[in-house]
Structure 1
Amino acid sequence: MIYYKTEEEVEIVKEGALILGKAHGEVAKRICPGIKTKELDDIAEEFIRDNGGKPSFKGYNGFPYTLCISVNENVVHGFPSEYELKEGDIVSIDCGVFYKGLHSDSAYTYPIGKVSEEVLKLLKATKESLYIGIEQAKCGLRVGDIGYAIQNFVEKKGYSVVRELVGHGVGKSLHEGPEVPNYGKRGKGPKLMNGLVIAVEPMINLGTRSIVQEADGWTIRTSDRKPSAHYEHTIAVLSDRTEILTTHKYIEEVFKF
């Protein structure tokens, strides 16, 4: 079901999204070769709770952590662990915050140390595709316009779009309608209307778009084990504008590539 938000609800999502953005920033300060991914999870949870929010992911359908941490060929939903990040890795950090009854959701993929130029180009293209998709999130257009823009951009560069995992509405529930695929046809899908809050999140693979689920029941990786990148914003489609509610500002103040 699609649940449209009032102006007041959009503002609450934005308030929670600021906590989320700053939590990402705290994680970004600590990302480096040698840190255990579980340590990053602890940093995020402590910051979110200390600032009046709750981790959206922890306990969601049994997910046991605050962050989804997905390294290299892992696309999404990876578990924080004793794994130590190393030079040349890439790592997607996905997080959500529940604040005053509403969720926000965002993700960012980091290169660790010196990463191959091929993989760095994948990250840059995926990040750019996020904003290209958001440009199509306007009142009167349709969900398919977002997906088409993302798909058209990345496939021209030789990358592939994960089909089984999609963006989504977000608000009272972490996942609401509509689904927001990163592929599609212009003019197709649900119409974008005032008060729609959605998470746009391209998941783009260096190799095949085919994915598999690992034995933990959560982690999704590429079937060819080539790297995958993931960036995400929660946005509000309003009658006179589209507003990005989450922010990568606090990440990019300390971590630039």
Structure 2
Amino acid sequence: MDYLIIGILFFIGNVVWSIAFLFYQSYAKKKGENVAVKEDSKEIAMLTELGKNMATKSDIHEITLIAERTKNEAAKESAQSISYEEEKGKNLATKEDIEEITKGMEIIKNEISFENQRKHNFIEARTERFINILNRAGEIQSYQATLMYYLYNNSSVDRIMDLIEQINKDMQIITYETRMILVSFEDVSPLTPLSNLNDNVFRLGTEICVHASHAISYITNWNKMYELHMQTKEQSFIEKAIENKNKLEYLQKNISYGYKDKVQKNMEEYILLLHRLFGNEIFIKYTIKPEH
């Protein structure tokens, strides 16, 4: 009985031990699996973090390279842009400088051209003054014959008055032109023939005007006295008419000019002066004729 109970208890103990052992094995296995899972999770987490770190490091390196490349490209583009702007600025400055220089040269050119033209015009005008004096002086010389013609016509008073007016005009022009020429030369000593001609032409013109004035007086009185005689039949009027007629005839026969020969000589000297100053071309280029 006791052996049976002991056998049963031993059997029950083996069963319990077997169950406990199986449970232990199951527990140990589960625990191992849990430990493995836990360790695997740690490993996986570590690998994941490492991967993240590695990815981050790689990304940072890539980003750094990209940033550096972008920086270099930006710097290059900036440098190119600055270089372009500098070159553009240089080109603009050069263009502006060229335009300014060209403008300055054009101004200088125009000033020189204007100055040359002014000098040319001045020389032309002065040359024309020389010729004008020659023409006017020759015209005054010709008035001697003109006056002589009028003296033989007792109705030529108006013409003689016009002649006096023209003589005074020509003398004024000659005097003016002579002064304008003289002030344009520093040394006027070579222009003595011009001064002499101006002086003596003025004197000759004055002589012609004096004779012309006398002729006007004689012709006017003659005609007036003769008309009064015809109206009144008084002898005194006809006597005065004859007196004035005789004076006019005396003037016709005895008219003289003290400066006639001097002016002629001055004209010859003046023409030689023109030859020395301008050569023969002056008499080809300019018309030698009186101007009214």
TM class, shorter-length: under 0.3
In our comparison, the structure showing a higher alpha carbon Rg is 2
Between Structure 1 and Structure 2, the one with more strand by share is 1
Tell me the TM-score normalized by structure 1: 0.24
Tell me the TM-score normalized by structure 2: 0.22
Between Structure 1 and Structure 2, the one with more helix by share is 2
